Structure 1
Amino acid sequence: MGTWNKQALCAIGAAIALAGCSAKQADPQPGEAGGQPNGTEQQAGGFIVDTTPVKLTLFFDMTFGPEDNQQNFILDPLKAKYPHITLDIIKRAKGSYLEDLMAQGRTPDIIYNWNGEMLSYADKELLFDLEPLAKTLRFDLGRFDPAPLEAIRATTGGTELYGLPFESGGMATFYNKDLFDKFGVAYPKDGMTWDEMIEIAKKVSRTEDGKVYRGLSADVVDRMAMSLSQLPVDGRTNKASVQTDGWKRAFETAKTIWSLPNNAPDKLNDTGQRSFLVDKTLAMDPTNNILYTSAQYFHPKNGLNWDLVQYPSFTGQPNVSGALTPSVFLITKTSKHKESAMQVLDVVTSLEVQRKIVREQGRMTPLADKQLQQQLGQDVDYLKDKNMKAFLLSQPAQPKQYSPFNTSSNVILRKKFEEFFNGKDVNSALREAEEQIHLDIAKQLSAIGK
Structure 2
Amino acid sequence: MTIHHWKRLLVLSLGTVMLLSGCSGGGAGVAPKPANEGTDVPNSDTSPVTVKFATSAGIFNEDEFKLYVTEPLAKKYPHITVQYINTSQQGSTLTDLVAAGNIPDIIVGYGGLLKQLKDLALLSDMDPLIKKYKLDLNRIIPETLEYIKVNANTNYLGGLPAFNNTFGLFYNKALFDKFGIPYPKDGMTWEEAGDLGKQMTRMYDGIQYRGFFPDNVNRMINQVVQYQLDKNDKSTLTTDPWKNAFDLWNRIYNYPGNADAPYNTMNFSNNQSAFIKGELAMIAGSSSTLLALRKAPDVNWDVVTYPQHKAAMGYSTNVDTPNMSITEQSKAKDAAMRVIESILSDEVQLALARNAKMSILASDKVKQEYGKGIPEFAGKTLNLTSMTKLKPSVPRISKYQGSDTNKIVLDAYEAVLRKEKDVNTALRDADEELNKLVDFKKKNE
Quickly name the TM-score band, shorter chain normalised: 0.7 to 0.9
Percent identity of the aligned residues? 33
Question: What secondary structure sits across from 1:322 in the alignment?
Answer: strand
Question: How far apart in 2 are the matches of 1:278 and 1:442?
Answer: 42
- Look up the equivalent residue of 2:32 and give its one-letter code: Q
- Look up the equivalent residue of 2:294 and give its one-letter code: Q
Question: How far apart in 2 are the matches of 1:155 and 1:245?
Answer: 25
Q: 1:375-390 maps to which residues of 2 (within 5 A)?
A: 375-381=369-375, 382=377, 385-390=381-386
Q: Does 1:99 align with 2:95?
A: yes
Q: Does 1:222 align with 2:218?
A: yes
**1:317 matched to which residue of 2?**
312
Q: Which residue, out of 113, 119, 127, partners 2:115?
A: 119
Q: Which residue, out of 259, 273, 291, partners 1:275?
A: 273
Question: How far apart in 1 are the matches of 2:29 and 2:275?
Answer: 51
Q: What displacement does 1:149 show? A: 0.6
Q: Does 1:412 align with 2:408?
A: yes
- Do the aligned partners of residues 160 and 294 (structure 1) sit closer, same or farther apart at CA in structure 2, a change above 3 Å counting? farther
- Look up the equivalent residue of 2:273 and give its one-letter code: S
Normalised TM-score (structure 1): 0.85
- Look up the equivalent residue of 2:361 and give its one-letter code: L
Q: What displacement does 1:405 show? A: 2.7
- Look up the equivalent residue of 1:43 and give its one-letter code: P
Q: What displacement does 1:163 show? A: 1.1
- Look up the equivalent residue of 2:370 and give its one-letter code: L
**1:366 matched to which residue of 2?**
360
Question: How far apart in 1 are the matches of 2:123 and 2:427?
Answer: 34
Q: Does 1:158 align with 2:154?
A: yes
Question: How far apart in 2 are the matches of 1:101 and 1:365?
Answer: 29
**2:422 matched to which residue of 1?**
425
Question: What secondary structure sits across from 1:181 in the alignment?
Answer: helix
- Do the aligned partners of residues 358 and 304 (structure 1) sit closer, same or farther apart at CA in structure 2, a change above 3 Å counting? same
Select between 79-88 and 257-266 the one with higher mean Cα deviation: 257-266
Q: Does 1:434 align with 2:431?
A: yes
In the alignment, structure 2 segments of 5+ residues that lack a partner are 9-13, 16-22
Normalised TM-score (structure 2): 0.86
Question: What secondary structure sits across from 2:323 in the alignment?
Answer: strand
Q: Does 1:192 align with 2:180?
A: no
Question: How far apart in 2 are the matches of 1:210 and 1:80?
Answer: 59
Q: What displacement does 1:351 show? A: 0.7
- Do the aligned partners of residues 172 and 288 (structure 1) sit closer, same or farther apart at CA in structure 2, a change above 3 Å counting? same
CA RMSD in angstroms, aligned pairs only: 2.7
Do 1:131 and 1:161's aligned partners in 2 also have CA atoms closer than 8 Å? yes
Q: Which residue, out of 324, 327, 336, partners 1:332?
A: 327
- Do the aligned partners of residues 410 and 291 (structure 1) sit closer, same or farther apart at CA in structure 2, a change above 3 Å counting? closer
Question: How far apart in 2 are the matches of 1:66 and 1:336?
Answer: 25
Q: 1:44-123 maps to which residues of 2 (within 5 A)?
A: 44=33, 45=37, 46-48=40-42, 50-61=45-56, 63-91=58-86, 92-123=88-119
Question: How far apart in 1 are the matches of 2:159 and 2:64?
Answer: 20
- Do the aligned partners of residues 246 and 47 (structure 1) sit closer, same or farther apart at CA in structure 2, a change above 3 Å counting? farther
Question: How far apart in 2 are the matches of 1:195 and 1:321?
Answer: 15
Question: How far apart in 2 are the matches of 1:437 and 1:225?
Answer: 16
Once the two structures are superposed, residues 171-203 of structure 1 have per-residue CA deviations (whole angstroms, 9 ceiling, x without a partner) of 110111111111111111111111111111112
- Do the aligned partners of residues 295 and 146 (structure 1) sit closer, same or farther apart at CA in structure 2, a change above 3 Å counting? same
In the alignment of these two chains, the number of paired residues is: 417
Q: What displacement does 1:356 show? A: 0.6
Question: How far apart in 2 are the matches of 1:248 and 1:406?
Answer: 21
Once the two structures are superposed, residues 28-50 of structure 1 have per-residue CA deviations (whole angstroms, 9 ceiling, x without a partner) of xxxx824xx59864423434454
**1:33 matched to which residue of 2?**
24
Q: What displacement does 1:62 show? A: 5.4
Once the two structures are superposed, residues 101-138 of structure 1 have per-residue CA deviations (whole angstroms, 9 ceiling, x without a partner) of 22222111111211233212222211112112211333
